[in-house]
Amino acid sequence: MACWRHLFSVVTPTYNRAHTLERVYRSLREQSFQDFEWVVVDDGSTDATRTLVQGWQQEASFPIRYVWQPNQHKKTAFNNGVRHAQGEWLVAIDSDDELDPNALYHMAGVWEQIPPAQRDRTVAIIGLCARPDGSVVGDLYPRDVMDVSSLDMTFRYHVRGEKFGCLRTDVLRQFPFPEDIPGFVPESLVWRAIARAGYLTRFVNQVFRVYHDDADGLSREGRVDSGRHALGLWLLAHDTVAYCLGWFRYQPASFFGAAIRYTRFGLHLRAQRVDRPAGRCLNRWASRLLVAAMWPAGVALYVRDRLRDAMARAKHPVTI
**3-state SS, residue 145:** strand
Residue 143: alpha-carbon gap to chain centroid:
23
Q: Where are the beta strands (DSSP E) in 107-226?
A: 122-130, 145-148, 163-168, 200-210
The predicted pLDDT at position 222 comes to: 39
Per-residue pLDDT of the chain (320 residues; tens, 9 = 90+): 578 999 999 999 999 999 999 999 999 999 999 999 999 999 999 999 999 999 999 999 999 999 999 988 899 999 999 999 999 999 999 988 899 999 999 999 999 999 999 999 999 999 999 999 999 999 999 999 999 999 999 999 999 999 999 999 999 999 999 988 888 889 999 999 999 999 999 999 999 999 887 654 444 443 445 677 899 999 999 999 999 999 999 999 999 999 999 999 999 999 999 998 888 899 899 999 999 999 999 999 999 999 998 888 888 775 55
How would you classify the pairing of strands 98-99 and 200-210? antiparallel
Cβ atoms 61, 29 nearer than 8 A: yes
What pTM does this model have? 0.90
Q: Rounded to an integer, what distance in angstroms lies between the CA atom of residue 16 and that of residue 176?
A: 24
